[in-house]
Amino acid sequence: MSRPVSSAQAAQNAVVELMRVSPIADDLATRFTQAGHRLYLVGGPVRDAMLGRMGNDLDFTTDARPEQIMKIVSGWADAIWDTGIAFGTVGATRQGTTCEITTFRADAYDRVSRNPEVQFGDSIEADLVRRDFTVNAMAIDLSTKRFIDPHDGMAALAERRLDTPATPQESFADDPLRMMRAARFVSQLGFTPAPRVVEALSSMSGEIARITPERIQTELSKLLCGTHPREGIALLVDSGLADHVLPELPAMRLEIDEHHQHKDVYEHSLVVLDQAIDLEDKDAEPDLVLRLAALLHDIGKPDTRRLIPGGGVSFHHHEVVGAKMVRKRLKALRYSKDITESVAKLVFLHLRFHGYGNGEWTDSAVRRYVTDAGEMLPRLHKLVRADCTTRNRRKANMLQRTYDGLEERIARIAAEEDLAKVRPDLDGNEIMRVLGLPPGPMVGKAWTFLKELRLDRGPLEYDDAVAALREWAAEQGLGMPSGDADEAGDADQVADAGGGEQAR
C-alpha cells in the first residue's frame, strides 16, 4: 500500500486534537519542563487520538527517574500510587484522568520468563524501539508539540497494518504476551498483521507457555469483546497460538456439522459468534459470557462425533460433554466461577429448544426451560437464535418463528405465575407442620418434591398441595402425625437442616 499523502498534516492535526481534549497533559508537561525534564505522550493514547477514540487514560514517558517523577506530581495529582515504581512507573490521577508516567526504558529480557531486567534509558528513540507495535511506538514531545515517529507508525496506522519496531522475533522473544496482543489488536482495531508478524507468530507460538494463564485470559477477553473478534480468533487458530491457549477451538476445525451447511464446526461456531454479537444490546458493553458461549457451544462435538452407517454424522450429548469441557478450560484460564458456570450452563442448555418441535412442549416443559436457565434466560434466547446458521431461508424463518412462539408462551406463563420466583406451594415450616417432621434432610427432600410438582402442574390450591405431600410422604415410609402438629421451628431452623435454605 502507498503511504498516506498528508501523513505529516494528519499527525499535526492529532497533536492539536490531543491538546484540545487533554489540557491535563499540557499542564503536566509544564511541571516537568520547569523541573528540567522532558515529558512525552506515548503509545496507545497517541494512536487512539489519531483514530478519534481517545479515552481518559494517558501514558507518558520521561527522562526523569522514578523518585524525581514522584516529586514533580506531588501536590499536582489528586492521588498517587507507586505499585509499579520498581519498573519505573508512577501512577497518578487528576480530575478524573488516569496518568501513568514511566522513565525511559532500555530493558533486557532473560527470555525464559517474561520478566525484564529493568534498565532505564536515556532517549525517547531507545524507548520507542522496545515497544510492542509500530502503531504504539509514536510519541509527542509535549514541550515542543513535536510528533516523533521513527518506525513509521503513522503509515501503519493509516494502512491498518500491525508491525513491530524491531523484528517480530525479537519483540515476541522479549515478551510472548505480545503475540496474544497482536490478535487482540486485530479484533479491537481491525488491523491486518504484516506477513513477517504472521510468520513469527506461527514459528514462535509455543513461547506463549511462558505466560501465566491470568495474563492470557485478560488478552483473550479483550479480544472477544473487540469489534472484530472473528478476525482475532482466526489469527489465533491459523498461527497455532490457539493450540496452546484454547486447543479445543482448532480441534473443531475438521468436524463436519450435522447440517452439512458449513465447512466444519469451527466455521459454524464463528458464524454463531457473529450472529450472537448482532443480537447484543448495542447500547450496552460487549457481553463476554454470551460471546464465550457462542464460540464454545459446540466444543463437545469432536469428542462425541460418530459416523452413521450409510452416511452422515452424529454428535449425541455433545452439549453435556461440552459443558464439562468448558468448565475445565475456563478454570485453567482462571476465569471467575461466575463466568465459568454461566458459560457452561448456556452450553449445556443450547440444544434444549430443539425438542420443542412445533410447540409440542407442555406448560410444564416451558416452566422447566425457564427455571433451568434462570438468570441466563435472556442470553440463552440469543444463543439459540444465533445457533441457526442454515442457508435454507424457509427453514431459518420457520425456526425463528417457532422460537418467537416459545418466547410468547414464556411471557404468558411468567405473567400468570411469576416464573422468576417459582417455589413450592408450601414452605419449609408448613412442610414440617403437616408431616410432623423436625428440621433435617427430609424437609429438603419434601421441598424439592413440591417444587418439581409445582413445575409440572403449576400453582396448586393449599389442600391439593397438602394431599400431594402426604401421598409422597407415605411412599417414603414416613409416619403421619396423629393430628396437626405445632410448627416445628422457624425458618432459621429449617436453614440448618440441610435443604432448608430453599425454604427461606
46-64 pLDDT per residue, tens: 888 888 777 788 999 999 9
Is the pLDDT at 501 greater than 90? The verdict is no
pLDDT at 393: 87
pLDDT at 257 over 70: no
How does DSSP classify residue 91? E
Condensed to tens digits (0 to 9), the pLDDT of residues 411-421 reads 888 877 665 55
Q: How confident is the model at residue 184 (pLDDT cuts 50, 70, 90)?
A: very high
What pLDDT sits at residue 420?
Answer: 56
Using DSSP's 3-state secondary structure scheme, residue 63 falls into coil
**Residue 108: enclosing H or E segment and its boundaries?**
strand 108-109
Rounded to whole angstroms, how far apart are CA atoms 74 and 81?
Answer: 11
Q: State mean pLDDT over 349-370.
A: 86
The correct answer on CATH 3.60.110.10 for the domain covering 7-156 is no
Question: What percentage of the chain reaches a pLDDT higher than 90?
Answer: 54
* pLDDT at 422 exceeding the cut of 80: no
**Average pLDDT, whole number, for the chain?**
85
Q: Which of 341-345, 357-361, 498-502 has the highest mean pLDDT?
A: 341-345
Answer whether 413's CB lies under 8 Å from 362's CB.
no
Residues of the chain with CATH 3.30.460.10: 7-156
Helix (H, G, I), strand (E, B) or coil at 398: helix
Q: Which residue has the higher pLDDT, 187 or 480?
A: 187
Q: Residue 494 pLDDT more than 60?
A: no
Cα–Cα distance for residue pair 261/230, rounded to 1 Å: 19
- Would the pLDDT of 446 be above 50? yes
Q: Can you name the residues that pair with 93 across neighbouring β-strands? A: 79, 98
The number of angstroms, rounded, from the C-alpha of 318 to the middle of its chain's C-alpha atoms is: 22
H or E segment and range at residue 93: strand 89-94
Question: 132-179: per-residue pLDDT in tens?
Answer: 999 999 999 998 888 899 999 999 998 999 999 999 999 999 899 999
Do the Cβ atoms of 460 and 407 come closer than 8 Å? no
Distance CA 395, CA 406 (A): 17
Output the pLDDT for position 1: 37
The rounded distance, in Å, linking the Cα atoms of 69 and 32 is 8
> Can you tell me the distance from the alpha carbon of 346 to that of 107, in angstroms, rounded to the nearest whole number?
45
Query: And the C-alpha cell for 215?
Result: 495474563
pLDDT above 70: percentage of residues in the chain: 85
CA 332, 338, 343: angle at the middle one, nearest 5? 70
CB-count exposure of residue 170 (10 Å: 0-12, 13-18, 19+): middle
How much is the pTM?
0.78
Q: Looking at per-residue confidence, does 477 or 180 come out higher?
A: 180
Top pLDDT among 12 and 294 is at: 294
pLDDT confidence of residue 112: 63
Would you give the DSSP letter of residue 484? P
- Grid-cell match 477451538, residue found: 249
User: d(Cα 237, Cα 247) in Å, to the nearest integer?
Assistant: 9
pLDDT digits (tens, 9 = 90+) for 103-137: 998 755 555 655 666 678 889 999 999 999 999 99
Whether the CB-CB separation of 318 and 326 falls below 8 Å is answered with: no
Q: Is 268 helix (H, G, I), strand (E, B) or coil?
A: helix
Give strand ranges (E) for 232-389. Answer: 306-307, 313-314
- Rounded CA Rg of the chain: 30
Residue 423 vs residues 144, 452, 455: alpha-carbon distances, Å: 69, 9, 9
Helix (H, G, I), strand (E, B) or coil at 96: coil
Residue with the larger pLDDT of the pair 415 and 487: 415
Q: Which residues pair with 40 in a beta bridge?
A: 61, 141
Among 358, 361, 383, 386, which Cα is nearest to 373's?
383
How are the residues of the chain apportioned to helix, strand and coil, as percentages rounded to the nearest 5? 55, 10, 35
pLDDT above 70 (res 453)? yes
- Name the least confident of 257-261, 297-301, 473-477: 257-261
Question: What one-character-per-residue DSSP string does 239-257 give?
Answer: HTTHHHH-THHHHTTT---
Given a cut of 70, is residue 185 above it in pLDDT? Answer: yes
Helix (H) or strand (E) holding 139: strand 139-141
pLDDT confidence of residue 3: 41
**Model confidence at 496: pLDDT above 50:** no
Q: Tell which wins on pLDDT, 385 or 3.
A: 385
Give the phi and the psi of residue 265 in degrees, each rounded to 5: -65, -35
Rounded mean pLDDT, 312-336: 92
* Helices (H), ranges, 253-300: 265-278, 288-296
Q: What is the pLDDT of residues 285-312, one digit of tens each?
A: 999 999 999 999 999 998 888 777 776 7
β-pair type (146-148, 139-141): antiparallel
Are residues 192 and 158 in contact, defined by beta-carbon separation less than 8 angstroms?
Answer: no
Q: Which residues pair with 108 in a beta bridge?
A: 117
Highest mean pLDDT: which of 196-210, 400-414, 457-471?
A: 196-210
**Which pLDDT score, from 0 to 100, does residue 307 have?**
76
Per-residue pLDDT at 211 exceeds 80: yes
Name the helix (H) or strand (E) containing 195: helix 195-204
Residue 498 has a pLDDT of 38
How far CA 306 is from CA of 44, 117, 315, 391, in Å, comes to 49, 53, 6, 24
Distance CA 230, CA 233 (A): 5
